[in-house]
Amino acid sequence: MKNGVRLAMALVISMCGVFSIEGLSQTASRLQIRVLSSRADLVSGGDALIEVKAPAGTDLSRLTLTLNGREVTAMLKSGPQNAVFHGLIGGMAVGVNTLLAKMKSSGKAAAASLKVVNHPITGPILSGPHMKPYECRTVESGMGQPLDADCSAARRIEYFYRAKDNTFKPLNDPSGTRPADLVNTTTNDGKTVPYIVRVDSGTINRSIYRIAILDDPKSGAASDAWMPGEGWNRKLSVSFGGGAGTQYNQGVNQANNALNHLFLSRGFAFMISTELVNQQHGNAVLQGETLMMLKEFFIERYGVPKWTVGFGGSGGAIQQLVITQIYPGLLDGLQPSASFPDSTLHTADCGLLQNFWRKADPKIWTKEKRAAVEGYTDGTCAAWERSFVPVLTATNAKGCALNDASKVYDPVKNPGGVRCTMQEMRVNIYGRDPKTGFARKPQDNVGWEYGLAALNSGAISVDEFLDLNEKIGGNDIDGNFIPQRVAGDPVALRAVYDSGLMNSGAGDWPMFRSCISGLIRIQ
């Protein structure tokens, strides 16, 4: 594991609340500056939502705020409390910036300064160097040609409305006559508003995001200084998609993918991102970094939500659970479904077991015995092999999902090609083996006693137990089945734990839904 990423994990562990450990400086106890949209050292995109707090009764005219010596006082506005001022301060350079607030009072001057570290909106901040090659998918997502090598796209706003036939339709003329089939919705705050949804689309950290929120385009708010309409209940839900992927591309989504009726009808803002789909890259460090940057952007444009809740199943559940323990505070609550721990070990073992069953005598290894060894219902392990074991295979071109498949690794024809394995998605965490140049691999099955529970229950015999464990084998660095068991790379194994990728249940946050299907009432 690279020291920079390990240090990044240590830094992020301190997050809590809605970024409640923002950078704060008080060279005078009477004047304070803090960042509301992120931690002061983790700002991205050249701007940040800033709060300046002065003694009670202080008027804005008595304050001066500068950024790197340039006055930006005009960006401040009165906040919700007396002598508290908020402003979206832009124009930050990449690197360290200095905010300086000064106040005149009875002939005396007070001052407070804050160092703000700004990072590119394309990332990375904590996850390490971006993977290469990386194919853009802005065109497929309706965002036009990419603007740069980081697959950036121009921000755009679209409107949709909920129709009487219970579908969403485009609102092509937001300022025009309302459609005859437009319906209203009543939020869980008790406000009845036109069911019109604004979808904000763009790119952050190379991912394509969509933010959907109730908005009446006739409310009179200017689009260049937009504030949420009365329909937003000041709560944010973030979607996490499932799967387990090793794709060398940006991913695809559409604006209407953010139109989640369950949340929007109740007044929630709803956010999706191609990076927050586990089928893309399967790297919770990168996914959490993207969520951090997306939430910063949301706060800067829409305000600080009362709380933020995750939503999603399977690989989406894994993201919520692991991101919460690596980046505590980004999510205030979780809604994981189809949730399970230790998924990597179980799926890899399912592959080894299916390989053994294919060669074994079916008269000896009956369906009942196989199920007893696997520990799952009949067919589950086989399904896991089909769905997830390919992410262990370096030559799995379909998994790499490159339009140019000639770039994919082949041990003979293209030994320097890109490898379609989960460990390559996490190479910044695991590191590379200097002998091979490949990402280190933590998978380990040395010493495992396969079928021990089945043996102890009497479902299989001692001879069958010994035969299974003698022949189970392992996976080599390319993911091929081999007769020998394989020890995990010790550097990668330690990195799994150090980085927080091993789900230990360390995220101490409430779960609203777990391992069930169906809808719940969200307050």
Contact 99, 89 (CB under 8 A): yes
pTM of the model: 0.92
Instruction: Please report the pLDDT score of residue 513 as a whole number.
Output: 59
SS3 111: strand
The answer to whether residue 147 is domain-embedded is no
Domain final position from 303, 337, 371: 337
What is the rounded CA–CA span in Å between residue 323 and residue 342?
Answer: 15
Instruction: Please report the pLDDT score of residue 220 as a whole number.
Output: 57
Are residues 306 and 348 both part of a single domain?
no
Are residues 268 and 348 both part of a single domain?
no
Domain final position from 291, 321, 337: 337
Are residues 323 and 376 both part of a single domain?
no
Phi (first) and psi of residue 261, to 5 degrees:
-65, -40
Q: What are 89's two structure tokens?
A: 């301060």
Are residues 319 and 402 both part of a single domain?
no
**Residue 213: CB atoms within 10 Å:** 25
Phi (first) and psi of residue 25, to 5 degrees:
-135, 140
Are residues 406 and 318 both part of a single domain?
no
Q: pLDDT tens for residues 30-71?
A: 899 999 999 999 999 999 999 999 998 888 999 999 999 999
Contact 478, 394 (CB under 8 A): yes
What is the rounded CA–CA span in Å between residue 50 and residue 66?
Answer: 12
What is the rounded CA–CA span in Å between residue 444 and residue 430?
Answer: 14
Are residues 109 and 174 both part of a single domain?
no
Number of domains present in the structure of the chain: 3
Domain final position from 91, 119, 147: 119
The answer to whether residue 132 is domain-embedded is no
Are residues 215 and 180 both part of a single domain?
yes
Phi (first) and psi of residue 169, to 5 degrees:
-130, 150
The answer to whether residue 484 is domain-embedded is yes
CATH of the domain at 107: 2.60.40.10
The answer to whether residue 143 is domain-embedded is no
Buried b (16+ CB within 10 A) or exposed e, 438-477: bbbbbbbbeeeebbeebbeeebbeeebbebbbeebbbbeb
Element (H, E) at 413: none
What is the rounded CA–CA span in Å between residue 291 and residue 211?
Answer: 12
- Domain hosting residue 288, numbered range: 156-337
What is the rounded CA–CA span in Å between residue 337 and residue 343?
Answer: 14
The answer to whether residue 175 is domain-embedded is yes
Q: pLDDT tens for residues 479-502?
A: 999 999 999 999 999 999 999 999
Distance of CA 256 to the CA centre of its chain: 20
The answer to whether residue 512 is domain-embedded is no
Low-confidence ranges of the chain (pLDDT < 70): 1-29, 106-107, 219-227, 341-342, 512-523
Are residues 97 and 187 both part of a single domain?
no
The answer to whether residue 25 is domain-embedded is yes
Count the helix, strand and coil residues of the chain and give each as a percent rounded to the nearest 5: 30, 25, 50
Are residues 311 and 185 both part of a single domain?
yes
Buried b (16+ CB within 10 A) or exposed e, 86-100: bbbbeebeeeebebb
Contact 514, 324 (CB under 8 A): no
Query: Among all chains, which residue has been given the structure tokens 């009487």?
Result: 164
Contact 480, 389 (CB under 8 A): no
Contact 52, 67 (CB under 8 A): no
Q: DSSP letter at 330?
A: S
Listed in sequence order, the residues at least 6 apart from 281 whose beta carbon sits closer than 8 Å to its beta carbon are 131, 245, 246, 247, 275, 287, 425
Are residues 90 and 167 both part of a single domain?
no
Instruction: Please report the pLDDT score of residue 79 as a whole number.
Output: 78
Are residues 99 and 160 both part of a single domain?
no
CATH of the domain at 229: 3.40.50
Instruction: Please report the pLDDT score of residue 16 as a whole number.
Output: 34
Give the dihedral of Cα atoms 8, 9, 11, 12; nearest 10 deg: 110
The answer to whether residue 228 is domain-embedded is yes
Are residues 406 and 466 both part of a single domain?
yes
